[in-house]
A = this chain, B = another copy of it.
């Protein structure tokens, strides 16, 4: 699973580079005492901090600590936090923290959340538009 996760993360890193962003995977979260996202991507205008979840099926459950760390890193770095979700034979989807559904122990991504999430083009175009408006 670890290996597969790395391959999926590299695939997303490649996608960002193809679209004019620089992106890097962070080392495994166990290797740092500070919060680290799975991927950080930037193009000089916008920076995204991403937690990557690759699963066979929905729903996907997320630990509160995991999300808290993503928010903590994003706030300090000045990055926009998203959960990047990859399900076999479906395109990448990107979910804002405020769109996650709360559970007793954390959060979940169910069919509703997944279907209303944005895709990669929307992720990078939406934030380009936001930039142009300011």
Q: Which residues 38-94 in A have Cβ within 8 Å of B in the complex? A: 40, 42-45, 47, 73-79
Q: State the CA gap A14–B34 with chains docked (Å).
A: 8
Q: State the CA gap A39–B47 with chains docked (Å).
A: 16
- The 10 tightest CB contacts between A and B, nearest first, are A44-B78, A22-B76, A22-B77, A42-B77, A24-B26, A27-B27, A24-B36, A22-B73, A42-B78, A17-B34
| Residues in B whose Cβ lies below 8 Å from that of A74 | 22
Is A32 interfacial (CB 8 A cutoff)? yes
> Knowing A24-B32, A24-B36, A32-B25 touch, does A44 contact B13 (C-beta < 8 A)?
no
Task: Tell me if B20 and A76 are in contact (CB < 8 A).
Answer: yes
Give this chain's copy count.
2
Is A109 interfacial (CB 8 A cutoff)? no
Q: Which residues 9-23 in A have Cβ within 8 Å of B in the complex? A: 10, 13-14, 17, 20-23
- Output the least CB separation between A5 and chain B (Å): 13
| Residues in B whose Cβ lies below 8 Å from that of A10 | 32
Task: Tell me if A40 and B24 are in contact (CB < 8 A).
Answer: yes
Task: Tell me if B27 and A26 are in contact (CB < 8 A).
Answer: yes
- Output the least CB separation between A6 and chain B (Å): 8
